[in-house]
Amino acid sequence: MTTAHWIPDRAAALARIDEIDPRAYARTRNALDGAVTRLSPWITHGFVDLPEIVAHLREHRGLGPLDKLTYEFAWREFFHHVRRHAGEGILDDLRTPVWSGRYAQALPEDVLTASTGVRVIDAGIRQLYADGWLHNHHRMWLASYVVHTRKVHWRVGADWMYGHLLDGDLPSNHLSWQWCAGTFSAKPYLFDAANVARYAPALASPGTAIDHDYETLEAHARTGGDAGPERIASPPIAMPALLAGPPAATAWPAIDATMVRGRRIALLHPWSLRRPDDADVAIGVFHAPFHARFPWSMQRWDFVTGGMTRIADVLWWGDLATLAPALREAASVAMVRTDEPEYAGATQSVATVRHPAPRFTADPATPCRSFSAFWGKVAPAWPHPESSPSQR
Ligand SMILES: Cc1cc2nc3c(=O)[nH]c(=O)nc-3n(C[C@H](O)[C@H](O)[C@H](O)COP(=O)(O)OP(=O)(O)OC[C@H]3O[C@@H](n4cnc5c(N)ncnc54)[C@H](O)[C@@H]3O)c2cc1C
């Protein structure tokens, strides 16, 4: 599957949901060629939401509350729960790092150019750049390699991966990097060459820096130095640029009072690409300060602006504070709430109605420090005779 398969519209996402087989998912999800859903770009950008996906799979595919897929959907909601409480704290170490040395503050050139010489790592970087999507296991291997093998601070790797993903989601991405680094988990996530050979045989990487027993890998994570690149490198490729704004050709007409006077306005932002039925006018907004901080690849810009163009009457780019005066005469200005940095504060001053972001689990009022604590409070209790518990 390549980027071309992530068509930026809701119909494409709904068609994909219809193909999901929760049982095959549970059996095969750890393998790189396993039956994972590949729904993440559509979920991140709000073309579809978890409550409707879960409801559909319950009704048509017998999804149960203890099924592996239900559990994985809940990880996303857990990460968002953590972000709601910690805010921008998720961008900093949540625990003391496992290594006492000073992690590098930039990625080495061989990582940026997919030429480390570790086959599984270089293949992952190439796929990230080409498709904007990676299997979960591949993301874990990349994060672990960057932090523990190459001694780069997790935040540097997280920002880099976030920018290139079509599904880049700050809570899921940055907290997963912290989980692999060991600053949001009890121990660092480590993997060996045998693990790769088992779940991605075509990318087996014997004789490289990852080909050691777990005791050696753990000692290296805690006390070693940068263990790369390999003596024999792969041919380097160029990293696609990360851009603080959409393609220059995008049209940004001015919004004036006549367009909005007395009308129900829906503000669509990049995480809510779905037009509400009751909107008279839908304005797709991009709040420039966020995008200057967290730039995206061109293919992500194309995906998001493509989705926005399909459903909005007009697209708007700038600092949201400057849009507020033009919207004053609207009957209402509604939007889906977002906790994204910069957007969260700016949208408060513009919208008169803020709908909660959809969730299929509860969002506990007090912070849960671990997924198991969260799951203990929110695990759904719908009856399902055939469900089979599975382990993470
Ligand atoms: C280092 C690292 C970075 C990651 N960055 C992101 C990111 O930026 N955006 C993102 O959506 N996910 C991220 N994930 C989680 C996970 O890898 C992806 O959600 C998943 O691979 C997307 O493919 P899929 O839709 O086929 O997932 P499936 O396995 O089919 O799961 C279905 C959906 O459940 C959710 N989900 C599944 N696993 C997780 C998980 N571990 N954490 C959070 N949500 C999950 C996603 O919405 C996903 O689309 C990251 C994981 C790691 C280890």
Ligand 1: nearest atom to the Cα of 162: 8
Q: Among 40, 57, 70, 137, name the best residue to mutate to test ligand 1's pocket (greatest count of ligand atoms within 8 A of Cβ).
A: 40
C-alpha dist (Å) from residue 382 to 22, 62, 273, 357 = 16, 11, 29, 22
Q: Kindly give the number of the ligand 1 atom that is closest to the alpha carbon of 135.
A: 21
Q: What is the pLDDT along the chain (392 residues), one digit of tens a residue?
A: 444 579 999 999 999 999 999 999 999 999 999 999 999 999 999 999 999 999 999 999 999 999 999 999 999 999 999 999 999 999 999 999 999 899 999 999 999 999 999 999 999 999 999 999 999 999 999 999 999 999 999 999 999 999 999 999 999 999 999 999 999 999 999 999 999 999 999 999 999 999 999 999 999 999 999 999 999 988 999 999 999 998 776 778 889 889 999 999 999 999 999 999 999 999 999 999 999 999 999 999 999 999 999 999 999 999 999 999 999 999 999 999 999 999 999 988 898 999 999 999 999 999 998 999 999 999 877 754 443 333 33
Of the candidates 169, 154, 182, the residue with the CA atom closest to the CA atom of residue 50: 169
Residue 374: φ, ψ to 5°: -65, -50
At 39 the pLDDT is: 98
* pTM for this predicted structure: 0.96
Write the residue with the smallest CA distance to atom 23 of ligand 1. 38
Buried b / exposed e along 183-205 (16+ C-beta atoms within 10 A)? bbbeebbbbbbebbbebbeebeb
CA 179 – ligand 1 centroid, Å: 13
Q: What is the pLDDT of residue 4?
A: 56
Q: Which residues contact 208 (CB under 8 A, 6 or more apart)?
A: 117, 118, 119, 193, 230
Looking at residue 389, its pLDDT comes to 35
* pLDDT score at 252: 83
Ligand 1 atom nearest residue 167's Cα? 9
Is the C-beta atom of 192 inside 6 A of ligand 1?
A: no
DSSP assignments along 49-105, one per residue: -HHHHHHHHHHHH---TTSHHHHHHHHHHHHHHHHHHHGGGGGS-SS--S--S--BS
Q: What is the pLDDT of residue 253?
A: 83
- How many angstroms does the Cα of residue 136 sit away from the middle of ligand 1? 6
Choosing from 27, 29, 154, 167 the residue with most ligand 1 atoms within 8 A of its CB, the one to mutate for a pocket test is 167
In one-letter notation, the amino acid at residue 202 is A
**Which atom of ligand 1 is nearest to 142's Cα?**
1
* Domain over 243-355 is classified CATH 1.10.3720.10: no
Cβ of 54 closer than 6 Å to ligand 1, yes or no, is: no
Q: Do residues 65 and 42 lie in contact, with contact meaning Cβ atoms separated by under 8 Å? A: no
- Write down the domain spans for the chain: 3-91, 109-223, 243-355
Q: Measured between alpha carbons, how far is residue 86 from residues 83, 122, 125, 175 in Å?
A: 5, 34, 30, 11
Measured CA distances, 311 to 32, 354, 359 (Å): 34, 19, 22
Q: How far is the CA of 8 from the centre of ligand 1 (A)?
A: 18
Q: Is the CB of 115 under 6 A from ligand 1?
A: no
Q: Measured from the CB, is residue 40 less than 6 Å from ligand 1?
A: yes
Write down the pLDDT at residue 10: 97
Query: How confident is the model at residue 211, as a pLDDT?
Result: 98
Q: Which fold has domain 109-223?
A: DNA Cyclobutane Dipyrimidine Photolyase, subunit A; domain 3 (1.10.579)
The CATH code that applies to domain 3-91 is 1.25.40.80
